């Protein structure tokens, strides 16, 4: 198994565990990840995922040994890396807790998550150009949307890396904390997210993602329709009743 899975209440933590290859992302890692998270994504008792690596390395990239001898036709026939979009599309919110290196596929994995909480040791980059290739797990697309064309070109065309504080300034990282606090901060944030109504949280993250896909007018219309739809849920009724009655809400995920 390339992962370690822990569950604490409504929060599931997934730790990449390939220490011999610095948590390189292989086809087996993706298979294990999806096999573990598909059923949890459907579990109404799960409210948030935390994805992390080791204190030294989140993930140093895709598994080069697995790709090095493949041909262009083999890569195209397999639609190599396409399966990672299933991970990105999981509806449960995902927090990346990043310490150490998040390079290439590791940076792309972090960007597939909804929040990135980084330790001060974190290092981000898309150095694929140094291998004669380019980002292939969404790096050219997600990085550009997150930090803008100029900065995406800077990282992708030079292959240079940036530290956690620069990544935070650019908008790649949500928060920077001490390395010793990364997992605790991520777990606490995940617990807060998981404490809210499941339907509203899922709808909100999908609406934010929609902002990157559509123009402003279409995005606002989409947001409004989803907002209207939440009035069919018990959690909406409970949340608003609790506010009016000045008590904590008791969300059920319904």
Q: Whole-model pTM?
A: 0.95
Label the pairing between strands 3-8 and 11-16.
antiparallel
Active site residue 215: no
Q: For residues 210 and 204, give the distance between their C-alpha atoms in angstroms, rounded to a whole number.
A: 10
Burial grade of 198 (CB within 10 A; 0-12, 13-18, 19 or more): buried
Dihedral sign for Cα atoms in the order 228, 232, 234, 237:
positive
- All CATH 1.10.12.10 domain ranges in the chain, comma separated: 198-244
Asked if the model's pLDDT at residue 253 lies above 80, the reply is no
pLDDT at 1: 78
pLDDT (tens digit per residue) in 167-225: 999 999 999 999 999 999 999 999 999 999 999 999 999 999 999 889 999 999 999 99
| Catalytic-labelled residue, pool 104, 106, 108, 138 | 108
| Catalytic-labelled residue, pool 62, 102, 167, 190 | 62
Mean residue pLDDT of the chain comes to 96
- CB atoms < 10 A from the CB of 41, how many? 17
Domain 198-244, CATH class in plain words? mainly alpha
Cα distance from N-terminal residue to C-terminal residue, the chain: 34
State the fold for domain 3-194. 2-enoyl-CoA Hydratase; Chain A, domain 1 (3.90.226)
Dihedral sign for Cα atoms in the order 18, 19, 21, 24:
positive
Active site residue 53: no
pLDDT (tens digit per residue) in 30-83: 999 999 999 999 999 999 999 999 999 999 999 999 999 999 999 999 999 999
Dihedral sign for Cα atoms in the order 109, 113, 119, 124:
positive
| Catalytic-labelled residue, pool 47, 105, 119, 197 | 105
Active site residue 197: no
Residue 25 DSSP one-character state = B
52 pairs with which residues across the strands? 15, 97
pLDDT at 186: 98
118 pairs with which residues across the strands? 98, 176
pLDDT (tens digit per residue) in 121-169: 999 999 999 999 999 999 999 999 999 999 999 999 999 999 999 999 9
How confident is residue 250, by pLDDT bands cut at 50, 70 and 90? very high
DSSP string, 78-120: HTTTTTHHHHHT-SS-EEEEE-SEEETHHHHHHHHSSEEEEET
Query: Considering the chain, what percentage of its residues have pLDDT values greater than 70?
Result: 100
Q: Which two tokens stand for residue 115?
A: 């929040």
Q: For residues 182 and 120, give the distance between their C-alpha atoms in angstroms, rounded to a whole number.
A: 9
| Catalytic-labelled residue, pool 61, 100, 128, 136 | 128
- All CATH 3.90.226.10 domain ranges in the chain, comma separated: 3-194
Q: Which strands sit side by side in the sheet containing 94-98, from one edge to the other? A: 3-8, 11-16, 48-52, 94-98, 115-119, 175-177
Active site residue 62: yes
Query: Considering the chain, what percentage of its residues have pLDDT values greater than 90?
Result: 98
């Amino acid at each position: 198994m390339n992962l370690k899975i822990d569950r604490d209440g409504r929060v599931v933590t997934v730790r990449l565990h390939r220490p011999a290859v610095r948590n390189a992302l292989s086809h087996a890692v993706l298979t294990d990840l999806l096999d573990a998270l598909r059923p949890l994504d459907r579990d109404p008792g799960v409210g948030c995922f935390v994805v992390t690596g080791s204190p030294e390395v989140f993930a140093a990239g895709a598994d080069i040994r697995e790709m090095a001898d493949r041909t262009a036709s083999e890569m195209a026939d397999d639609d190599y890396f396409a399966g990672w979009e299933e991970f990105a599309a999981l509806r449960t919110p995902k927090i990346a807790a990043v310490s150490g290196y998040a390079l290439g596929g590791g940076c792309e994995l972090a960007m597939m998550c909804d929040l990135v909480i980084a330790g001060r040791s974190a290092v981000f980059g898309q150095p694929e150009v140094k291998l004669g290739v380019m980002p292939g797990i969404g790096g050219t697309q997600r990085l550009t949307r997150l930090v803008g064309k100029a900065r995406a070109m800077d990282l992708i065309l030079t292959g240079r890396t940036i530290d956690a504080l620069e990544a935070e300034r650019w908008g790649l990282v949500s928060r920077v904390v001490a390395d010793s606090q990364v997992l605790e901060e991520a777990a606490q944030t995940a617990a807060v997210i998981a404490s809210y109504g499941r339907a509203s949280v899922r709808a909100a993250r999908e609406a934010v993602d929609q902002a990157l896909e559509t123009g402003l007018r279409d995005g606002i219309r989409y947001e409004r329709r989803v907002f209207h739809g939440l009035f069919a849920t018990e959690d909406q009724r409970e949340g608003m009743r609790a506010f009016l009655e000045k008590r904590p809400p008791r969300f059920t995920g319904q």
